Amino acid sequence: MAAIPLDIIQQAVAWRRDFHAHPEIGLRERRTSGRIAELLKSFGLEVYSGIAQTGVVGTLRHGDGPAIGLRADIDALPVQEQNGFDHRSRVEGCMHACGHDGHTAILLATARYLSETRRFSGTVHFVFQPAEENAGGGQMMVNEGLFERFPMQAIYALHNWPGLAAGDVLVNPGAMMASQDGFRITLTGRSSHAAMPERGADPVVAAAQLILALQTITSRRLSPQEQAVISITRIEGGEALNVIPEQVALAGTLRCLSDETRSTARRLIDEYAASVPLPFGVRGEVRWRYGYPVTRNQPETASALRDAAVSALGAARVHWDRPASLAAEDFSYMLQACPGAYFWLGADSTSPCAPLHNGGYDFNDDIIGDGIRVWVALVERSLGAANA
């Protein structure tokens, strides 16, 4: 296990709290990316800024050998912070409610440690990605040639995870996170007086039937072995209590853990939206907003990550091949373009951590050292520390 100097961990905690106090929404992370670039330069790394607008890559070379990448997301969320500690957000309506401040600090500390010790032979690319929350910064970096400009054999990422013991690691040889697609269904009928419904075609009743019918896709049209969630999260329609409206709109999300299930579920939602309203004299139309794909680890790179975590933390703290989450993550785009793996770093100490995307959440600084140890072990094992 790498002995991370206490001053590096303490410095990482200070960086993390500074980022937390100054959160920035995706593609606006100018202060954040500027600070990242400044620190990487001070460690002696090659620094490349402006990738996907506010992304930064720091490159550390030491001898001949392969290259790997480590990625951290840097953006915050449009959430009002409810905490009262000294490092609480100073930006109204914006906070680091998902722990990207901690991910960034862990990766910066790893860069500093490796730049000082250099017990490896090869190249490490430290990828600081903007706009993970909804804007697809991972896809933007891939489209702008991340892997062409910085060739690497594999790329890895972590995410802190409430619900898992502090500092424990969970990694799967397959899916870690779900795909995420949004949809909007417009139901068009014929408006009428509420006292004379027979003279119209009621999209409200059709919407009620359709909402219930859509839930049978996961329970009756997909195998119980296929994991998917269909959630209707918004209903819009009507203006007056005594008028049946002409239109009602439903909006929601589809999440799946395989590409095949995703394709089947989208087709079935289209079919249900078109057919279920017909007996009511209502027409249904779906508009899709295709989102993040499945975050799927490759077995070989997942195994390498597991072995590194075991060497850093011990086998008892590493969990393998456990249930995936139906939340989504845009590191999935990088895993489609390059082999790699993604893992969860537990956040719960003696009491459960507040949920992600919650105004009362704060990153658990006690896990920063464990995150650094895993990254260092992965680099040194992947890039041949024994021969460096």
Binding residues for Mn(2+): 98, 100, 133, 159, 357
Beta carbons within 10 angstroms of residue 326's beta carbon: 17
What are 223's two structure tokens?
Answer: 């195998």
Question: Is 62 exposed, middle or buried, given 0-12, 13-18 or 19+ CB atoms closer than 10 A?
Answer: middle
Structure tokens at 350: 């003696």
Q: Is 232 helix (H, G, I), strand (E, B) or coil?
A: strand
Please state the separation of Cα 135 from the chain's center in Å.
11
CA distances in angstroms from 10 to 71, 314, 353, listed in the order given: 21, 23, 21
The Cα 325–Cα 356 span in angstroms is: 13
- Cβ-based neighbour number of residue 343 at 10 Å: 25
Element (DSSP H or E) covering residue 193: strand 192-193
Instruction: List C-alpha distances in Å: 176 to 54, 59, 112.
Output: 26, 27, 29
Rounded CA gap, 35 and 40, in Å? 9
Per-residue DSSP letter, 387: G
DSSP assignment letter at 74? -
DSSP label at 5?
A: -
CA 325 – CA 177 distance, rounded (Å): 5
Of all helices (H) and strands (E), which one includes residue 275? helix 259-275
3-state SS class at 97: coil
Binding residues: 98, 100, 133, 159, 357
DSSP 47-65: EEEEETTTEEEEEEEESSS
Residue 8 has a CB neighbour count (10 Å cut-off) of 18
